[in-house]
Amino acid sequence: MVSHSHSHQNQKDIEKEKLLKERLDSIKYYETFISETLNVDLNKCIEDREKILENLENYLELKSNIELLIENKMDSMKTMINLGSECYVKARVQDTSYIFVDIGLGVHVKYTLEEAIKFIDEKESFLNKKVENQTKKINQIKTKIDLIQNGLKELKHLE
């Protein structure tokens, strides 16, 4: 009888060890999933949102400059043009009634000042929606991370 109870205890210990190993494997799996997948996705989404915000800021600055041209009825102007790497040259714009706007992918379209403002308003609305979508994605990923971390805390505190 004693040996039967002893083998039963051994069976329980083996079962306990197996459960512990499975739990530790799960913990490792989810910790890796957070660090190698979710955090990577999160950083990418944050980076993408920053690029969109930068793009939006550039359009808003352009709109502000166009509005100044219109308000001050400037038909010509002197300016500094960035040649790249923050190297500037003085330039004189003879006719400010038209402007070339980068609409994306390196394509520039010739607009009147009013058309450019209309385009920028549409672009602003579009970019704001993109920022909103990125923010939603970021929050969804953060929620997943929080849920998994809470689950991990519970897994680690099981006896």
Across the chain, the runs of DSSP E, i.e. the strands, are: 77-84, 87-93, 98-104, 107-112
pLDDT given for residue 3 in this prediction: 57
Residue from 102, 103, 99, 121 nearest 111 by CA: 99
Looking at every residue in the chain, the average pLDDT score rounds to 91
Domain boundaries, the chain: 2-72+113-157
- Is it the case that residue 114 has pLDDT exceeding 70? yes
CA torsion sign for 84, 85, 90, 93 is positive
Q: What is the pLDDT of residue 143?
A: 98
Q: Are 47 and 136 in contact (CB under 8 A)?
A: no
Q: Alpha helix (H) ranges present in the chain?
A: 2-33, 39-71, 113-157
Beta partners for 98? 112
Q: What percent of the chain has pLDDT over 70?
A: 96
Residue 83 has pLDDT above 90, yes or no: no
Higher-scoring residue by pLDDT: 95, 127: 127
Nearest to 99 by CA among 84, 117, 83, 86: 117
Give the model confidence (pLDDT) of 60-76 as tens digits. Answer: 999 999 999 899 888 88
Containing H/E element for 95?
none
- For residue range 122-152, list pLDDT tens digits in order: 999 999 999 999 999 999 999 999 999 999 9
State pLDDT tens for residues 22-51.
999 999 999 999 999 999 999 999 999 999
